[in-house]
Structures are given as structure tokens and as C-alpha cells.
Structure 1
Amino acid sequence: MLFLLKHGINTLTGWFVLATLVLYLGSAFDYLSVLWPTLAAWIANMAMWRTLAPSAKRQVGWLMGIGLAALSFAAFKGNWMTWEKIFAVNIPMLAMFVAVSFLDLTNATDQDRSLPKGLHAILNTAVGVQVLGAVINLSAIMVFADRMKGAKKLTSTQQFVLTRNFSAAAWWSPFFVATGVALIYAPGMEWQKTLIPGLVMGLITAILSSAEAYQKTKGDFEGYPIRRESLLTPLFLAVSVIVGHFIWPDISILVLICLLAPGATLLLMKAPSRKDRLQRFVHDKLPRIGSQFSLFLAAGLFSSGISAVIMSYPELFNLDNFTFSPVMFALILAGMILMSLIGVHPIVTIAIVSPMLLPLSPNPTSLGFLFLSAWAISAGSSGLTGVGVFMTSRYQIPAKTIVKNSAFHAVLMWLLCSIINSVFL
């Protein structure tokens, strides 16, 4: 192992990332122990550690440190956690993340057409980045923003149209990492029941952000030159997941995505040599997702620590006198959104909240919708979480501008989510 770390890890990093997906599928169908994808994920994490930004290293370091300290304290109290609950909590989610990363290979940019203007351009951009982002995730923002800014600087109005609508896909897309998080931290969640409410929230976000952008720019908004064919892949995959789950109801949504995303990529990607492009993807693209690997592994360890401490002091964290009511839903969602404004990633707040609420036996679909809503609103309005940091570092949009642009949006979405949960879930 030491020789591998010194000499071969740079070239093998992408293969360890890919192995996390392949070995997880083997464990999901009971061909392999979950130990193997767990080892692959942690080795990949160690290999990618040096590529992390200092801020990411600090956040991950604090999460792991607190998690290990909490686990040690709980063990001293006699509450031991199994190695699976400590190191393998988020392995399914990481496998899904690797799977959907393949979909980036199906995307094609269009540099020849001029940028459209007006209300139609705003709506096309809002819907386009949400639908495309629902499948290829953060790559969609980069494709849209790079094309829209050209040789100029991305405007704050363009920023909030892209950020809000991309993040809104978390409400309804089975390919968004938020869905994997919700399925793991809200056991028993039925994703199909959150699909319609989620689509409603996504549509409302597109309409309201477009109207606000039109009001601010008086129609002088340069949007993305969307093409119909660019939306075929997201629609094809969404239908495939729904049909696949209908045919094989015993296979979880998460496992279906892990199977369908790479398969659809091989079917739909266009390249002179698929083999060469796939090799470049494994060698160059996969090793760049170190921040996600580190954050999700650290969040799993952190969550296990929190759970262990709660088990050690059941009387202190006893919420038996409470129920997971619509009021509690609204209050917790507000707290999770506020935490994101100071830089706490949604995966961290979800990891804290989940072990405290699960003993209440909440409606798992309502709990899942809480997590999806926290992710969608936080990612769309915070300047210090993943999407906000990306916009700040790549397009020089100040974090305070992102928060200022979307403060009212966050409050309104919080209110609408609370109402939808109360009425429908």
C-alpha cells in the first residue's frame, strides 16, 4: 500500500473512484461485502486529499474530528457503533454521485449561436439549467454560465437565475445528489410521492426567478441558446428511472440510478472514440471530485458520532413529547436554511437533524421532503455552500451579493414548502 501511495496513486485515483461505484453495485446485489466499496472510497479520498482547497480541508477536518471525538466518548459510555455505521454510511450516495458524473459525457456545448434576449430567453435559461442540471449536476451551471458571460462578466441577475433554478432540481430530480441524501437519511422515503410537489416547487422557482429577472433588466437579459436535443437526455433518463422502478419495484431508486446513468452515457455519448473519451474521463474528470468524496465521507462519520451521543443520553435528546408536525417541519427547515448562510453544508445539517428526528417515527416521505427542501433552498440562496462557493470562485460573484439577491426568495420558498408539506405530505 505504501508503494502504491508513493508511485501509482495519481494514475489510479480515478479507478478507485470508479471502483466505488462498481463494488457498491456488487454489494447491493449481495455478490460482495460492503467492505470493498468502502475501502475503495476511503483510498480514493486519501488520494484526492491534496487536491482539496484549504477551506474544504478545514471543514472536513472539523467534521471528522468532532465525529471521532463523539464516537470515542460514546464508546467510553458503552455505546459502540459498527464499522459499517461509521465508515460506510454514505457509500451508496457516493456511488450515485460517481454514476451521475458519467452523464457529463453526454453534454455538448453550442458556441456558434448568438445569445437570445428577452423574457423568452430568461424562461428558456431557467428551465434549461434546471432540467439539464437535474441530470449532469454542477456541470450544467458551468456550461450555461461560461457561454452566457462570453468575454464579459456574469451579471448578478444571470447568477441568481442560474443558481436558484439549478438548485431547484434538488426537489424533484432522482439524479441529484440531494435525492441520494434524502433516501439514506429518511429511511423508507417514497421518492415518487415527492415528485409532484417537487416539480411544482421547481416550476414556481422558474416562473418567479424569470419574472424578477425581467423586472430588473427590462428584458435586456442575455440567456443561453437552448436546443431541444439538449433536453432529450434528461427526459430519457427521468422516464427510464420511473419505468425501471415500476418494472423492478424491489430495486431501490438509488441502485437504479447507479445502473442507468453509466448505461445511458454509453448509449447517448457522441465521440470519435468512446474508449479514449471514457479513459480520459476516468483519468482526468473523476479525480477532480475529491471535495464531494471527502465531505460525504466526513458527514457520514460525523452523523454516526451524533447518533452515538444521542444513544448515550436518551433522556437529554428525548423528543417523545413532540411529534413531527407541520410546525416542526417549518421550524427545522428555517433553522437548516439559516445554518447554510454561515457556511454549513446541507449534508451536515441533515446529518445532525436525521438522528434526532428518526426516533419520532416521522412520515419518511415528509422527512425526505424536508431534506430536499433544505438542500434546494440552501444551495440556491447561500454564498458559502457548494454552489455559492463555485459561483464566487469561478465567476467572481461576491457571497454577500448571492445572499442579498435571494434572501426574499429563500423566505418565500420556505413558506411554500411548509404549506405544501402541510397540505400534501
Structure 2
Amino acid sequence: MHPVKTQGLREGAFSFPVAQHMNQDWPSACLTRGPCSVPCCLCWMQANLLPPPLPTRPPHAATMPFGNTHNKFKLNYKPEEEYPDLSKHNNHMAKVLTPELYKKLRDKETPSGFTLDDVIQTGVDNPGHPFIMTVGCVAGDEESYQVFKDLFDPIIQDRHGGYKPTDKHKTDLNHENLKGGDDLDPNYVLSSRVRTGRSIKGYTLPPHCSRGERRAVEKLSVEALNSLTGEFKGKYYPLKSMTEQEQQQLIDDHFLFDKPVSPLLLASGMARDWPDARGIWHNDNKSFLVWVNEEDHLRVISMEKGGNMKEVFRRFCVGLQKIEEIFKKAGHPFMWNEHLGYVLTCPSNLGTGLRGGVHVKLAHLSKHPKFEEILTRLRLQKRGTGAARHPLARLGVGGGPLEAAEGEAGHPGEVGWTRATPL
């Protein structure tokens, strides 16, 4: 495992995400179970981290804009002439995409026009790292997972610990089923959070959406969120018209997400037209937060200082269900099916899309010579805590704050994954 740092990272300050699975054989997501096969393709981006560069990476890759893959003249060339050079790549897409499969799928497209080359471009432009296997592909709409299932199914199965095309996903958002989680040691736990993503049916996903679609998603989302009452009553802050005072307050609260800089996001087209139709909504108590039109249509986050994960999860479930009901009544349910669960942009987030985490102080353990080995055995990966993308990134102070995060897109359901005891 290789340490990574971000701009502004204090010495000894780290956080820990855990990759995701869709394996129905895993009970309760115990953190001491076997090591994860791969980290999430977007794990590096949860705090604006960039993977250690490959020596073979083109010098322009770090600033590579969205590639134009819609050149119809490419059909004048044989599939083998258009097949990408994946000889030095380390991602799931490169493992699965053979010349034969490329030939089979390259002429296909979804009803909205998303093609195989659109799916794989981020993985082609970003070879990965020899020790870090990324996913290497994205979906452009709900239909992508069906039209290109010959590519996605093996990737999902490998990425999510053997989750087969015939498996069915379990969703459990009954927070009363969660036992414990309200007594994490306050001497170590600084803050707790749970987050997920949601996609709105009838619209294409961020890698493929048009300006009009993106604005329609924003309008629909703001109307829905502004109708919330009680503990969820709040306000929306559009990025493009945000005042300096509002921006500074969101920075101080560690809520603000900035324009993506990772080549994984840039190459997939998710930063197009930035910051048009992007924004942040949060409740008056600043404990329930929604990002609009970032990596997914919606990124829903529940959080608070301290170690009462049970309360954080209660707020998460109740708020998320309220939002989903509002969208359903408006005729726009979230993308979901019994196999994939909730459909999101990156295959790594399919299912629950859930990630839960706590910031913990481990001042002495982080200096232990076997610290890296401990992380590997617990399926944890250290990450910098200084980035603005992460809503709790800078709450930890002194002694090297860490984030132990577990969250999985699979059969145990939301409650099952949240039962896991971080560290």
C-alpha cells in the first residue's frame, strides 16, 4: 500500500476508505474479513487524490479533457484497427475487453447514444497503477449496463467479490434494524458520516448528460429538496451564483466540492460545463447534505461530530426515503433494478452505493512500523484528510486523525454494512 497526500495535508493526518463488494456470502460486513480484491476506481477521488503516476503515463494525461468518442468515421476502420492499446493497463476494463469483445460491442449504443468507446474512454486514458487496480469504465445512462452487459457483468463480478449476473440485490433502509453504533469511544471518534448516491430515472448520467438535462436535474432536485420540512428543512446553494460569503461558509463547514481535477473524472466527461447546474443543499442543522450533479445526480450525506453512528444512520435513512418519495410523486423515481440495486455512474458504487465512516484519532498506531500491514488486514486504505471534496475531511485535529470507512454495494443491505464496527 502506498501513502498518498493531498494539498494542505498535515503530517500524520490520514483517512481510510474501504472498497466495496456485492457478495451475498458476506454477513454484516465485518472489517476483519479477507482483504478486498481491489480499491474503488473512485477511491482516489473521494478526497481529490491522484494515484501515483505511471512512468508510461503520457505527459498530458493529468490535464486530459473529455475525449471525443463520437467520430462516426471510425466505423470505416476495422475493429482491430480501433481496438485500444491496453498492454500496460491495470484496470478491470482492460482485463475484460478483448479484441473479440470490442468487435462485438463497438457498433452498439444505448437509446441516448452512449457507445462502447464512451464507456471505456476513462480506462483507456488512465492506465492505472501496478499496485492499484481501478474499474476503468463508466455508465452513461441506465441502459448502459444492459446494452454493454457483456463488458459490465464480468467487471461487476470481479469488482464486487463474485457477484453473479443472476444474483439479486437486497435493500434495507429500516434504521430500526441497526443494533448498536451509538456508543463509539468519544476519546477517539471525532465525527461520523454515511453517504450514498442516487440517479434519477429518465435522465442520462453525468458522463453523458446534456446541458439541458443537467439543468433539468438541478431544477427537479431543488424543488424536491426545498419541500422538505422539520429537521430536513434547508437551502440550496448553486455553485455558479454563490456569493463569496456563502462560498467561505461552505468551505469553513467543509461542505464545498470543487471542479474535479482527477483524470479519471475528466476523461469520463463529468466536468463538462463546470460549474453549470451544480450545487450543494444542506439542512439548517448542517447535518444532512446533498450534492447535485457531481459524480452522480445526487450524493446524499448524513453526518455529525462525535461517534453516534446510529443517529447518523437514522437521519440518513429517513431523509433519503423522504427524498425518494418526493421524486416518485413527481414521476421521477430513482434508477433501481433487482439485480444491480441502485444504478450509479461507476460500477463500483452499484447496489446500496453506501459508504459509512468515522474520523478517529490514532496518534500512536499511525507511527507503528506495522501500520501498513494492519491497514491491509482490516481492508483499510489511508487517505489524506485535507481535501475539500470530503465533507468531514478537516474535522479531525491533532494526533493524526484517521477515517475508517466501510460501505458496500451488496447483499447485506444498508443496515448490514453499517453494522460493521470501524476499528
* TM-score (ref. length: structure 1): 0.23
> More helix per residue: 1 or 2?
1
Report which structure shows greater RCO (CA 8 Å, sep ≥6).
2
* TM-score (ref. length: structure 2): 0.23
> More strand per residue: 1 or 2?
2
